[in-house]
Chains A and B, each alone.
Chain A
Amino acid sequence: MDNLLSVLSREEKIAFTLRSLYCKYGYSQYKMSKFEEYDLYVKNKDFLVSENIITFTDTDGKLMALKPDVTLSIIKNSKDLEGKVMKVYYNENVYRVSKGTASFKEIMQAGLECLGEVDDDIITESLYLAAKSLDVISSENALEISNLDIVSGVINAFNLQSSAQNDILEFLGDKNVQGITAVCSREDLSDSQTEVLQKLATVYGAPSKVLNNLKAFSINKETELAVNRFISIINNLIKMGVEDKIFIDFSVVSDMKYYNGIAFKGFVEGIPVSVISGGQYDKLMNKMGKKSKAVGFAVYLDEISKLSNTYKGEE
């Protein structure tokens, strides 16, 4: 057995370690076909990382696509189960255009999804598993967590035009405080309103530093509820022992058409881009005609291969 392990590449080792981690927490493997009807992706084009899709005509004349994404297929094939949660993980190849070469690439992606009656415990568990997944990849890691309900709640509270809202979201994603300030003065917001929006970009860091400052975003009933829920989720994560790996950071902004609530990104030292990306996507479920809620994340195994050869993760 030892011999067998020694021939595995780092990505393979990581893929198997993740698999055993997810199995331990009761997730079952989700296997799917390589192809999906093209229609599914056209309807949800913005959800995909890259718009380009490899298509071909099946023998019966149907236009088919090589999967550019796994989540949409899982949602499509899921059923609304009352009072239950479907917990699955996957390890699949997807086909996307890579930014550098502008040509199609096969990318190995792992991930997990929970669909159904998703409550705060399930959300906490998926955050915990994301943190643990990072540990598998490298000991030097950080999971940054945002809450889109707080972000959109705060931005909606000031009756801004949608173009101004989009500008603020973009600047927030860039951590561009001066940009946010400029939009606020363009839109004639008061000093206190400007300050709250600036805080979205300036309040970030370890929970011990940030948790007490979150009350600044409780500006109405809606955001107060979101803040309290967020604090309790973070506190539960701390109790589970991952405090030193998690960071609160509202600059993690995902497309609000699909995502809501918790959103997160995972980084490991030595890889310039995020290796984990995930969050709640109740709105996408809704768009696809499902009543259930959902949370999940993807691990970009192709990025991990760029890590230098000193493997420091958990064996």
Chain B
Amino acid sequence: MKKMLNVALPKGRLGEKVYDMFEKAGFECPSIKEVNRKLIFENEEKGIRYFWVKPSDVAIYVERGAADIGVAGKDILLEYKPDVYELLDLKMGKCNMAVAAKKGFVDDRNKTLTVATKFINIAKKHYASIGRDIDIIHLNGSIELAPILGLSDVIVDIVETGSTLKENNLEVVEKFVDISARLIANKSSFKFKCEEIEEIRSKLSKQI
């Protein structure tokens, strides 16, 4: 019996594009396109099983071995440092991790900088690397509100086009990490399903 390969895909537009790449690589699973409430889709003949999970959870599924491979944003990998292999940069969902503030903001180094962000670890690491004393405010969404309401001096967040920032009179102070979607693999699965995972990696890399 062929071993099934479990693939965690991020819910949403990016995940659908990623699935299309898998399909082109010859790992199709037609039932995934049906509109229903199923959570798991498999093609036994191809030995592959897909499931949609919240994008920020993909790394957890892979690290814990519930999925053998998955596709996760570099932001999540940098923030949570999961113990997984990062096999391929899919060059999709490209954006930047950036510092943004109200237009015309000047950093006063005499006082502690307050930073609002979803990405605590990334923000800490960035400011530690430039020796800036900061106070972090952890928010789960609508980060852009923080500097407008005076909750924080700056924000650290993902910036794609910057149009949300512009519309709210904010601007990018600096971009400091390139973000894109990565193919990740569980370290143990990679030992026992090596051939299958390598095949997928090489077929996906040809489409980039």
Contact = CB atoms under 8 A, between A and B. Distances in A.
B191 A273 contact: no
Interface string B172-208: 0000000000000011110110100000000000000
Q: Is the interface of B mostly helix, strand, loop or mixed?
A: mixed
Contacts of B87: 175-176
A269 B192 contact: yes
B86 interface: yes
Contact of A272 (B63, B85, B88, B89): B63
B86 A174 contact: yes
B64 interface: yes
A247 B188 CA distance: 13
B16 interface: no
Contacts of B84: 174
Contacts of A267: 187-188, 191-192
Contacts of B192: 140, 142, 267, 269
A202 to B, nearest CB: 11
Interface in A172-197: 174-176, 178-179
A178 B89 contact: yes
A144 interface: yes
B28 interface: no
A216 interface: no
A176 B194 CA distance: 16
Contact of B191 (A142, A174, A176, A179): A142
A274 interface: yes
A198 interface: no
Given A267-B187, A269-B192, A174 B85 contact: yes
Contact of B83 (A178, A269, A273): A273
Interface residues of B, number: 17
B85 to A, nearest CB: 4
A292 interface: no
A178 B83 CA distance: 18
Contacts, number: 43
A247 B89 CA distance: 25
B93 interface: no
Interface in A198-212: 205
A251 interface: yes
B65 interface: yes
B86 to A, nearest CB: 4
A247 B63 CA distance: 21
A273 B188 CA distance: 6
B64 A272 contact: yes
B184 to A, nearest CB: 9
A178 B187 CA distance: 18
A271 interface: yes
Contacts of A268: 188
A144 B86 contact: no
B188 A274 contact: yes
Interface in A93-150: 140, 142, 144
Contacts of A144: 191
Given A142-B191, A269-B192, A272-B189, A175 B65 contact: no
Nearest to B3: A269
Interface of A: 140, 142, 144, 174-176, 178-179, 205, 247, 251, 267-274
5 contacts: A269-B192, A272-B65, A273-B65, A273-B83, A274-B187
Q: Which 4 A-B pairs have the closest CB atoms?
A: A272-B65, A142-B191, A174-B86, A175-B85
Interface of B: 63-65, 83-89, 186-189, 191-192, 194
Given A267-B192, A269-B191, A274-B188, 5 more contacts: A140-B192, A175-B86, A175-B87, A176-B87, A269-B188
